[in-house]
Amino acid sequence: MITLTLETDPVASQVTITDDKLIVDLADGRSISIPLNWYPRLMYGSLNERQNWQLLADGYAIEWSDLDEHIGIEGLLAGRRSGESQKSLERWLATRNYSANNVTPI
């Protein structure tokens, strides 16, 4: 088995969200683009909520406190999608008066 060893820990320096992408610039000059639908809370969040992010632990993670979403940079690089269950997402959407079945994300 081959084990990947990182030369440096990946840290974020900037976050940009478009209508369909989460784009994270890393401190080493790379950028990663992730489909927004991988993170339903971001997808259903308002523009203001999406823009209200902060870097945690010197850039090792990103937090959107308004959406109760936290994403680690290593997880992004590993291709990990949100681990939230459909039931949990539906409960969260209900608190926002949305339905995952019939609402188009803002």
Task: Tally helices (H) and strands (E) across the chain.
Answer: 4, 6
For the stretch 36-78, pLDDT in tens is 999 999 999 999 999 999 999 999 999 999 999 999 999 999 9
pTM for the whole thing? Answer: 0.84
Give CA–CA dist 17/81, Å, rounded.
Answer: 16
CB 49 within 8 A of CB 105: no
| Domain regions of the chain by residue span | 12-95
Which pair of tokens denotes residue 95? 């608190």
Sign of CA pseudo-dihedral 63, 35, 9, 15 = negative
**What number is the average pLDDT over the span 100-106?**
52
pLDDT reported for residue 8: 74
CATH number of 12-95: 3.30.2020.40
Among the listed residues 54, 59, 53, 50, the one whose alpha carbon sits nearest the alpha carbon of residue 30: 59
